[in-house]
Structures are given as C-alpha cells and as structure tokens.
Amino acid sequence: MDGVEGQAGDFTVTLVKKPRYIIEDKCTGCTTCMEYCPVEYPDPFNQELSQNKAIHIYFSQAIPLVTYIDETCLFLKEQKCDICRGVCQNKAIDFTQTPEKVAVNVGAVILSVGLEPFDPSVRDEYGYGRLQNVLTSMDYERLLSSTGPYEGRILRMSDRTHPRKIAWLQCIGSRRVTPGDNSYCSAVCCTYTQKQVILTKDHEPESECTVFHNDIRAFGKDFERYFQRAEQLPDVRFIRSYATIVGEDPQSKNVIVRYATADEGVKEEQFDMVVLSVGLNPPTGNRELAEKFGIALTDHGFRQGTADNPLATTRTGIFVSGGFQGPTDIPESVFSASGAGAQCGQLLDYRRGKLTTERVYPPEKDVSGEEPKIGVFVCHCGANISSVVDVPATVEYALTLPDVVYAKQQLFSCATNSATEITDLAKEKGLNRVVIAACSPRTLEPLFRDTLREAGLNQYFCEMANIREHCSWVHSKQKEDATEKAKDIIRMSVARARHLEPLQEFDLPVDKAALVVGGGIAGMTCALSIASQGHEVYLLEKEDHLGGNARRLHTTIEGLDVQAYLADLIRSVYANPLIHVSHRAVIQDVSGYVGNFFTTVESETGVQQIKHGAAVIAIGAEEYTPTEYLYGEDERVLTHLELEEKIAARDEQVVGAESMVMIQCVGCRNQDRNYCSRVCCSHAVKNALELKDVNPGMDIYILFRDMRTYGFNEDFYRQAAEREVRFIRYTPEEPPQVEAVESEGKPVLQVTVADPIMGQRLAIDADCLALAAAVIPSSSTKEIASLFKVTLSPDDFFKEAHVKLRPVEFATDGVYLCGLAHYPKHIPEAINQAYGAAGRVLTLLSHDTVVASGAVCEVREDDCVSCGACITACTYGAIEFRETPRGRKAWVNPILCKGDGLCNAKCPTNAIVLKHFTDEEIISQIDAVVTAEEIFETR
C-alpha cells in the first residue's frame, strides 16, 4: 500500500504490486519448475524449518495456487540461471515483470492486517536460536501439520528424533513489563497450548507433556471443558510456576528448565524439547501503515478505536477487523470481520449493488434421454493424497468401471484452472455425470457443483469420493491398502453417480424486515445497524424499558461512561423511523422459515403478527443469585453489579469501608456450571480501582482462582497490584470461609482463606464483601430456543452453527445470535458481535431471494397408503395430508423440508423419497462396497 487519498465514500488507494515473475493465467501449478530449480532456501511458511526453492508455491492452499519467484533466484540476482524458463511447458515464466502501480477507488477500507507472533530471539534468556531444541509455538504448529517440515511428524531439531518429554512455557513475550516484551496478555496462548498438548498426545500417546503456566485463562466459550480434557490426559502436567531456561545438556541437547513448586521448592528438569508459547505482537509495519492511512495507534501499537465502536479507527471510513484490534481468537476475528462489513454497508448503503453483475450460467442441458456418461477426476491434493494413494492407478481403475467414459488426474481439483478443465472436458467429452475423487464434500462440493453448472449440467450430477479424509490422511503408513481403498471409494461413487437425477432448486422471496429479540446493547446496536441500511426492524424488549444489563453498569474498565452511552443509544433507537420497539413483549409463536417468518408477539400494544425475513436472538443473560458466603443473609455481602451501583451512588457503606474483600468464581467453574463467566476478573479489578480512586486508604483483597484479565485488561490488573490491591489465590478444594463476627468491638465479615505462599490460613476482617457472581443464561433461554427451533450449548447458552465458521448464525437458516445470549462478554465484545450479526442479517436481507435445496423429500402418490408414518417422523411439520382424486395422500412442503430423510426410513411402502439420497442411490453404493464376484450368489 503506497498511499491513500480522499475521504470516506471516495478513497483512492495506491497499491504497488510486486512482480511474481510468473504469468498467473498461464501457470497450472504443476511444480515442474520447482523440481528443477537449483536454489534451496529456508521456507518462510514452514518457519524456516524446512527448505524450499527460489521458485515455489507459497503454501499448499494458497490462492491463486501458482508459483512465484523469490529474491533468492540466481537469475534475479546475477542473471545466472534460467532453468525454470526452459522446463515450463506453458511459457508462464516472465523475468521482465516489474513492480506495477495500481490505483483503486473505494468507499471504505477495512484493515484486517492481522498480528505478528512474538519473536523470542529479541531476548537472550529464552534461548531461542541459541538452543536447538527450543521452538516457538508457531514452529511447533508447523511440526504438527501434515504439510509441515516433516509431514506431521514431531522431530527434534538437534537429532531428528521423536521427543518424548516436551515442555511448554507460557506467557512468552506477554504479561511482562521488561523491555522487548508486551505488558498485555495475548489471550489465545493458554488454549492453543492445550490444543497442542492434545494433538501431541494424539500423535504420540507415550509422550509426556508439561505446561508451565501462571494462570490458566480458559475464559472463552467451552474453554474450561477443553482445559479439563487436556489436563486429564495421562502423563500431562500443568505446573503453576514461572519457569526459566537454564541451558542445555551438551551431549543429549536436552533443554534444562528451572522452576519452583510449593511442595518441592526450586528444581531443575530436563526436557527433550521446549516450546515457547509466544504471544501476539501488533502487525509488522503498523506504524508506517497507521501513518499512511492517517489513523492513530494505541501505546501497544494496535489501532486506536473508540470505546463504543471497536471496529472504527480515528478516521471515518476506515475500519478494522480481527487481530489489529488486539489479541483476538478465530471466532472473534470472524464476527468482527462481519461487523466491519456491516459498518461499510452503513456507510455505502446508498450505492449498494451498483457494481454487481449477475452471474449467468449456460442453459442446462437435458440429458434425460442419454445413458450415463461419467467422468472421474482424481485429485492429488498436492501431496496430501498422492503421497499415499497411487493416483495414476486409481485413474486407470476408474476407466474400467461401468459407464465411466473418461478419467483424469489433477494436481488440485479445486484450483481455478482445474475447475475450468473439468468444465471444458465435460463439454468436450459429452459427460453427463462427474465424480470428483478428492476431499470431503463439506468444504468443496459447492465449488464443484458450480463447475458442473458452468458446463451446462445439472449441479446434482456431481458426486464426490472422499479419498483424502477417509483414506490418505488416515492410512499414510499403508500405501498399497490405501490405494485399494481409494479404488473402492471411487467404485462406490461411480455406482451412485449412475443413478443421480437432475434436481431443481428454487428461489424463495425474502421479506426485507428483521426481528431483533432483546433490547440490550447488543440488540439495539444490531437493530440500528440493520435499520441504517434501509431495513425495517422490529425490536422486542421484555421489560418496559430498553437497556438490559447495561442499565446496571456505570463504566467500562477502559473508561466508557456506560449510562451516557446507553442514553444515546436508546435515543437513536427511538428516533429511527425504521425501528419499531415493542415493550413488555412476549413471543407467542414463530412459524415460517428463512426469508419468511411470522412471529406472533403480545406486548403493551396488544397482540400483533410480524412478518420478517431474519431474526436475531440477543436476549442477554442474568446475574447468578449466590447462595454462598452469607449472600442474602447479611446486607454487607454484595454482587459486583450491586457493588458497582453503590460505588456510582457513592454509598457510604461501600466507599467508606476500611476493608473490602472480593471473592471470584461464585456460582461457576463448579459442577453446576462448568464454565468461566469471563467478565468477572476484569469487573472486580475495575471496581477495586474505582474504590481506590474514591478511598485510597481502603484495604482491598481479591480472592481468586485464576486471574483472567485477558488482553489489554492485564494492564489494569497490574495497576491494581501496584496500588496495593492484594490478590490471594484459593483453590476450589479450600474455598474461603465467611463469618459475621465482632472484632475489636466492631461487627465485621471475617473471611478466612488458605494462603498458599505462607502455607497457613489467613483471616481478613472486612466491612464489605463483593462476590463475582456468575453470568448465567437468561431464564427465557429455553422458551426462545424452542420457539425459534435453535439449539443450546452444554451450559445452556445459545449454540452457534459453527464456533469458527459461523459464529453468529444458527443452524436454523435466517436466525442469528449476538451478545450475552451467546456467552458472557464485555461491552466492546458484545458491540463487535452485534455488528457481526447485523452483517450476516444484511447478507440475507440484501438479496431478493434465497435458494432452497433440491435434495428434499417427495411423495410418490401411487405408493402412499396414507399411514402417516412420515408425518409423525417429521419434526419440521413439513409433511401433511392432502386430498387427491385418489384419496388422502401425504404431501411435502419442500421449503420446510430440511432433507434429513427420517420419513424415508420410516415409510413402509417406500412412497416418500429423499431426493439425491434415494434408496436406489444408497443401495447402489452398498452393493458396490464389494465387487460383483464377492457378493453372495444367493442374493
């Protein structure tokens, strides 16, 4: 990026495109040039652990999947060698290319420039680069990968042997104020380390894994369970200790780690390998980038946002998503990306759709009169398949199968040029069925269906044979058997392909309005974003006022005046003519489907039926009412929300207290609620700092299990410690005890807790006790879930369709999710997610139609005996009886049918058929498992 001019709505961004020295259109990614290139240099994608060539493909899933030439090239350096130019049959290599300047005119910019892993070589103490068997977690990630330096084998650098004892050192480069380190918590390392431990045990069940950590920060959704899963594996130790690398054993090259435990004091232990769990730095070149875009950075070097909009920068029209906001995990990166999209939409809605052109497919060929003519394409998937399966042998085999008229191998069937090849060959060879033997249909089936449409074939004539996940990846050590199995899988797919039928998808109209359930910060933010893009929004609030839980919050830890912000937000909602708010609203019924919902709502204005295309569930959460620690019995015992309200009101009982104790993890991280409420540690620190501001002399104690002040909130934790807030760790086995007693003639709450450092019980006399009460699912969760037919996670928060891929959507089409209903979170996170949900809603509502699948059920009326077995089997209410001239027959509403096929398995006369998965299609596969000669003759 060279420069940017203009303003929001009309930026001109100048880009300099470096030469690839490859003509992209001509390169097929065949990699012949790579074989001949004489220059080897450390591969940056594999963390320089393995070698690559000067001409190479960046990594196996790179887009576009073509080569480029690195500056290590001998020709580029000294015009010495041009072997690649000689061996390239497509004449794709072009050394005359020069840097190219491109100017693009855009209305808005999203900076999704990511993060940079911390480089531990900046500090000698980590031994990185000095000791061979010390790696970073990023290095280790590559070792674990099947496309990594050793094809997924974990090997030591020093002697290429399998390490048996591996240690992870947490917080490398994070939570430290020493020069070169970052003071903040990188937020993702605890969980990625647990993932690496689980994968290591998976690779090598005998290995011993030790994690040296400070706190375990399992604050994300389902993270607590994930930690337990890692911790409970055999030979896995989590040791709470600061650990340092002392050196290495000169013979074995084992790494010596020094650490301390409460029982054994300081000790040294040798490990075959040490992994540094490195934190996250701001992206490289952040300052230059900020200067070019004219945006401000924080002291930590991330973008400066605004307290009420984490996706904004200090310049209008320039947004951020993902890691440039700060340490971010994948789900947050994904929904913040949707959110940034929504904000661009708000800015540019007036010209939505002006640059789009409709995709036109060639007319569909009628092949109903033809015999099946099947083409089989077997994918190498780089080396993913071909390193195990003998691909040419499977191609040859495919040609012997019935109705197969053509078969071919491809390096990557998913690459653009391969897809074009499939289209072209389908036309040229007159194919009417195509079998792609490659990976799981889960990821790429849509692409290959599209490929068929381009060839004028019905997309349901595409069949995928999964020879990667189901074969090469799991049988890497049995190459011959794997090849035979790949043949079996292909034979089964061919058998099925012979029976495939063309199916028609149909377009459903989309109602342009949205329904948002819940008028808290998340619901209102989402409603405003949708409305500002021209859509009517019906906002339902069960109370008689908007605001939700935020009504009880006064500041955020970053210093946002929550009440002022909330008042503004509520005013904007009421002022927006497209937003219709219903107070005291109760949903009575929800019917319909994506694009066409009908929701019956009773509210203060009576009962109304709302027609809407999308729904957002933002019903929030509640505060747990403690039964522990004298809560409800003694008025000096408060929850943190109550404490916050009293601090804001300058209640003398609270701000005048000489001594205050806070107990964390009340009502969660236990058997009843096996999750972390995420917000309470920061909430406690915030309240402690507020109290110190008002009454600097107050003694404040925070009794905690793990301080989970992740991300930038770590700085506030440190601030609190510096201001003499005392932090005392307790364990669930020895929880604090609270008693109301008299001490020196004064009534106090006496809190006793085991002090792990002193090794004795500590008694604190407190005037006030604040409990970090858990955030629990809203009491209406189950009712709302059943009305909208959406599911819940084990802890009864709403369950997204996919944690990473679809974090703000439900499996039920047209229904979305944000805010505390998803999981406890801080206000900026809820705002992020609310914009994210709005972005997904807009993706639906900005279209006039949605497409319904062709793979739905259908009744063959002649065979239907109207027994009703299908109707009772269908949970979607998609089947009903209809009167026909030949009596009562079952009928399927194809829009409501989800294609699960339960009815098909229940029908005694096989009258109801799940299209694309018919008995004939499935049985043909079952029969093809064995070759004809193997089948019982008596069948």
Partner 1 sequence: MCSGRIDLEFILRAFANGQDGVFIGACRLGECNYVTHGNYDTFGTVLLCRRIMRHIGIAPERLHIAFMSAADGNILAESINGFVETVKKLGPLGQAENEQADDLAPRLQAVRRLVPYIKLVERERLRVPVKTREAYERFYTGAEFERLFDELVADRLAVSRIMLLLRQKPLTTQELAAALDLNPSEISGYMNGSSRQGLVRYDEGSKRYTLADVA
Q: How far apart are CA 19 and CA 26, in angstroms?
A: 15
Q: How far apart are CA 433 and CA 153, in angstroms?
A: 39
Looking at beta carbons only, is 241 or 812 nearer to partner 1?
Answer: 812
Each residue 197-216 as x (binds partner 1 by CB under 8 A) or -, in order, gives -----x--------------
Q: Is 902 in the site for partner 1 (CB under 8 A)?
A: yes
Near partner 1 by CB under 8 A: residue from 232, 356, 357, 938: 938
| Residue range at the interface with partner 1 (CB under 8 A); choices 207-215, 417-425, 579-587, 867-875 | 867-875
Binding of partner 1 at residue 907 (CB under 8 A)? yes
Residue from the set 474, 649, 694, 851 that interacts with partner 1 by CB under 8 A: 474
Residue range at the interface with partner 1 (CB under 8 A); choices 319-327, 816-824, 829-837, 894-902: 894-902
Say if residue 651 is exposed, middle or buried (CB neighbours under 10 Å; 0-12, 13-18, 19+): middle
d(CA 328, CA 802): 17
Q: How far apart are CA 183 and CA 129, in angstroms?
A: 23
Q: Taking the complex as a whole, how short is the minimal distance between the CB of residue 488 and partner 1, in angstroms? A: 12
Q: Which of 433, 654, 904, 912 binds partner 1 (CB under 8 A)?
A: 904
User: Do the beta carbons of residue 311 and residue 339 sit within 8 Å?
Assistant: yes
Shortest spacing between CB 796 and partner 1, in angstroms: 13
**Binding pattern to partner 1, positions 428-447, x when CB under 8 A?**
--------------x-----
Measured distance CA(843)–CA(847) in Å, rounded: 7
Residue 935 engages partner 1 in binding (rule: CB under 8 A): yes
Sign of CA dihedral 385, 387, 389, 395: positive
SS3 category, 702: strand
By the rule CB under 8 A, 922 interacts with partner 1: yes
- Identify the residue among 399, 872, 880, 884 touching partner 1 (CB under 8 A): 872
**CB-wise, 232 or 251, nearer to partner 1?**
232
Does position 345 interact with partner 1 (CB under 8 A)? The reply is no
Sign of the CA dihedral with 929 first, then 931, 937, and 939 last: positive
For partner 1, the closer CB: 47 or 459:
459
For residue 67, state whether it binds partner 1 (rule: CB under 8 A).
no
Residue 930 interacting with partner 1 (CB under 8 A): yes
For partner 1, give the closer residue by CB, 304 or 812: 812
Least distance in angstroms from the C-beta of 135 to partner 1: 24
- At residue 33, the 3 state secondary structure works out as helix
Residues whose CB falls within 8 Å of the CB of residue 910, separated by 6 or more in sequence, listed in order: 863, 904, 919
| Total of residues contacting partner 1 (CB under 8 A) | 41
Of 866, 859, 854, nearest to 899 (Cα)?
Answer: 854
Q: Does residue 228 belong to the site contacting partner 1 (CB under 8 A)?
A: no
**Least distance to partner 1 from the beta carbon of 498, Å?**
17
Contact 615, 514 (CB under 8 A): yes
CA distances for 153 relative to 199, 204, 414, 479, angstroms: 11, 9, 26, 17
Strands 433-438 vs 374-379: parallel, antiparallel or unpaired: parallel
- Rounded to an integer, what distance in angstroms lies between the CA atom of residue 414 and that of residue 431? 19
Does the footprint of partner 1 cover residue 917 (CB under 8 A)? yes
- Sole binder of partner 1 in the list 791, 882, 884, 888 (CB under 8 A): 791
Give, in order, the Cα–Cα distances in Å from 227 to each of 170, 230, 826.
Answer: 14, 5, 22
Q: Which stretch binds partner 1 (CB under 8 A): 253-261, 560-568, 598-606, 901-909?
A: 901-909
Q: Identify which of residues 838 and 856 has a Cβ nearer to partner 1 in the complex.
A: 856
- Kindly tell me which of 380 and 898 has the beta carbon lying closer to partner 1: 898
Which residues have CB under 8 Å from 787's CB, separation 6+? Answer: 587, 589, 590
Give 740 or 896: the residue with its C-beta nearer to partner 1. Answer: 896
- Contact with partner 1 (CB under 8 A) among 300, 479, 789, 847: 789
622 lines the binding site for partner 1 (CB under 8 A): no
Give 383 or 855: the residue with its C-beta nearer to partner 1.
855
Tell me: does residue 119 bind partner 1 (CB under 8 A).
Answer: no
The alpha carbon of 797 is separated from its chain's Cα centroid by a whole number of angstroms, namely 17
Tokens of 751: 């809190």
Candidates 813, 809, 812, 779; CA nearest to 796 is 779
Q: Which of 76, 106, 383, 811 binds partner 1 (CB under 8 A)?
A: 811
Q: Specify the stretch interacting with partner 1 by CB under 8 A; choose among 339-347, 647-655, 749-757, 898-906.
A: 898-906
In the complex, what is the shortest distance from the CB of residue 294 to partner 1, in angstroms, rounded to a whole number?
43
Binding residues for partner 1 restricted to 827-866, rule: CB under 8 A: 855
d(CA 712, CA 184): 5
- Span interacting with partner 1, options 72-80, 94-102, 105-113, 902-910, rule CB under 8 A: 902-910
CA 454 to chain centre: 32
Closest distance to partner 1 from the beta carbon of 828 (Å): 29
Residue 659 vs residues 560, 625, 687: alpha-carbon distances, Å: 27, 23, 14
Task: Please tell me whether residue 876 binds partner 1 under the rule CB under 8 A.
Answer: yes
The C-alpha atoms of residue 842 and residue 846 are separated, in whole angstroms, by: 5
Distance (Å, whole) CA 847 – CA 510: 7
Q: In angstroms, what is the minimal distance from the CB of 895 to partner 1? A: 15
Give the burial string for 346-366 (b: 16+ CB within 10 Å, else e). Answer: bbbeeeeeeeeeeeeeeeebe
Chosen residue from 405, 875, 881, 895 binding partner 1 by CB under 8 A: 875
Minimum CB distance to partner 1, residue 786 (Å) = 8
Question: Per rule CB under 8 A, is residue 477 in the interface with partner 1?
Answer: no
| Choice between 252 and 440, CB closer to partner 1 | 440
Please report how close the Cβ of residue 335 comes to partner 1 at its closest, in angstroms: 19
Residue with tokens 């949707």: 338
Q: How many CB atoms sit inside 10 A of residue 331's CB?
A: 22
How is 669-698 classified by DSSP, letter by letter? SSSS--S--SSHHHHHHHHHHHHHHH-TT-
Q: Tell me: does residue 801 bind partner 1 (CB under 8 A).
A: yes
Minimum Å gap between C-beta 925 and partner 1 is 9
In whole angstroms, the minimum distance from the beta carbon of 487 to partner 1 comes to 17
Binder among 659, 812, 853, 866 for partner 1 (CB under 8 A): 812
CB of 443 to partner 1, least distance (A): 12
Strand ranges (DSSP E) for 585-705? Answer: 586-593, 596-603, 606-612, 614-617, 621-623, 637-639, 659-666, 699-704
Residue in 231, 628, 651, 900 binding partner 1, rule: CB under 8 A: 900
Rg of the chain in Å (alpha carbons): 31
Nearest approach, Cβ of residue 811 and partner 1 (Å)? 4
Helix (H, G, I), strand (E, B) or coil at 550: helix
In this complex, which beta carbon is closest to partner 1, that of residue 199 or of residue 648? 199
Binding to partner 1 by residue 926, rule CB under 8 A?
Answer: yes
Decide: is 462 part of the binding site for partner 1 (CB under 8 A). Answer: no
Least distance from partner 1 to the Cβ atom of residue 475, Å: 11
Smallest CA-to-CA distance from 520 within 617, 640, 648 is with 617
Question: What does the binding site for partner 1 look like in residue numbers (CB under 8 A)?
Answer: 202, 442, 474, 789, 791, 801, 811-812, 855, 867, 869, 872-873, 875-876, 898-902, 904-910, 914, 917, 919, 922-923, 926-927, 929-930, 934-936, 938-939
